[in-house]
Amino acid sequence: MSPNGKIGADAVLAKGWLGAHKWLLLRRVSQLGILALFLIGPWAGIWIVKGNLAYSLTLDTLPLADPYVLLQSLLAGHVAEKLALVGVAIVIGFYALAGGRAYCAWACPVNMVTDLAASLRRRFGIKGGARFSRATRYWILAMTLVLAAASGAIAWEMLNPVSMLHRGLIFGMGTAWAVILAVFLFDLFVSPDGWCGHLCPVGAFYSLIGKTSLVRVKAAQRSACNDCMDCFVVCPEPQVIKPALKGAGKGIGPVITASNCTNCGRCIDVCSKQVFGFGLRFNNKVADNAPRGETAALGNRP
């Protein structure tokens, strides 16, 4: 952590406030911009995009469909229309390139809620809480698919906080606010990074899509790391950092290849040594001059 105890303070000194918040600001522009495109139709009658995150049609031409929703629909016994299949192919192709869980960091509106909860936990020093296995989200994902097949309905989408918030913002919140408040309080008081990091089946599904995605965060300058731990503190999936940052001694390359990395870029923002950057998953070899048997301290986070 930075010597003054404030996460990212050294990065602000080294790169300036904008440089130390660049990727966070770009993510907020992306998340709010996507929401604005959906809202400007019902609010102002300017129909650039029709629909919601489950299925949309841009400029009456470009279909985009959520593959997770479509899969549930197929399992429920529904027949997919041609436009939905085209939309799913486009979405899968995009996230297979950009990083599957880039959806979580750059498009999902619930991410702003859980980021706020994580920020407040750090600010007010809220410690501890329940711990869930990160594999739990895959079990929940499997159960939602079984539920669709058994019930003949896309049942999970009636409870899915991501779908509820997005539909609520476009068509009216109704009782969706209570679900979103529950997610916020869960992350704030019950489990750190609880919803997105451990339970959300949407994130689990997109992590499978992006398992071999091209765009990755890379610790290209990992020899410059000063073990401040700021990247581990701000990362919602800190377990993905350790191999790339500290794995040189074990012959592990600097690219974060774990599919649960959300490509959010906060590790890039808060690093005063500019260890991290975006790149491609290629050239993931250990440099010849990399230290062997490296045993740097990794802090308490996984």
Q: What is the pLDDT of residues 200-244, one digit of tens each?
A: 999 999 999 988 899 999 999 999 999 999 999 999 999 999 999
Query: What pLDDT is stored for residue 302 in this prediction?
Result: 42
What local confidence, expressed as pLDDT, does residue 298 receive? 43
Domain locations along the chain: 1-28+216-286, 48-209
| H-helix or E-strand spanning residue 159 | none
If you average pLDDT over residues 74-82, what whole number do you get?
93
- The pLDDT of residue 241: 96
pLDDT confidence band for 296 (50 / 70 / 90): very low
Maximum mean pLDDT: which of 38-42, 111-115, 160-164 = 111-115
Residue 86 has pLDDT above 50, yes or no: yes
Using a pLDDT cut of 90, give the percent of the chain over it.
71
Burial of 301 (0-12, 13-18, 19+ CB in 10 A): middle
Task: Tell me the three state secondary structure of residue 65.
Answer: strand
d(CA 36, CA 33): 5
Q: Give 151-203 pLDDT, tens digit per residue.
A: 999 989 888 898 888 878 877 777 788 999 999 999 999 999 999 999 999 99
